Amino acid sequence: MTYEEWEATVPDVITGDTLWKVKAYQLALFAADISWVDVTRLTKDQRTRSLADQLYRALGSIGANVAEGYSRRPGKDRARFYEFALGSARESRDWYYKARHLLDETVVSHRLSLLTQITRLLSKMVINQRKRTS
């Protein structure tokens, strides 16, 4: 599923919120949603059940922390949640790399690329919030 195909399925209650303007949030929600198939596949092998759990938790944490941070006043508090999201994005990328033995190469490559894009966006968001406090 492409991002555009997926975006067309996102309900108005989500896309109508001002949070939807945050590209990192959009991509985080997309990453968590498309990972469902990957995580399901990983849970079928006993060796990667805990990896699947960690991966899904980390992916869910990205968007949740962006949403939480976006709801805070600009500055240090918002930056702290964006940093949590950044850590979760990097953690997710790490778990996907470790899962490469059971997932298709094209899937892993796509997920690593997507998570790298999210990481870059979040890094900029953290820097911008930190600048507001200095």
Q: What is the pLDDT of residues 46-63, one digit of tens each?
A: 999 999 999 999 999 999
Q: What is the pLDDT of residues 112-129, one digit of tens each?
A: 999 999 999 999 999 999
Cα separation, 102 vs 27, whole angstroms? 24
Token digits for 116?
């790298």
- Domains defined for the chain, CATH in brackets: 11-131 (1.20.1440.60)
Secondary structure (DSSP) of 73-93:
PTTHHHHHHHHHHHHHHHHHH
Cα separation, 120 vs 47, whole angstroms? 31
pTM of the model as a whole: 0.95
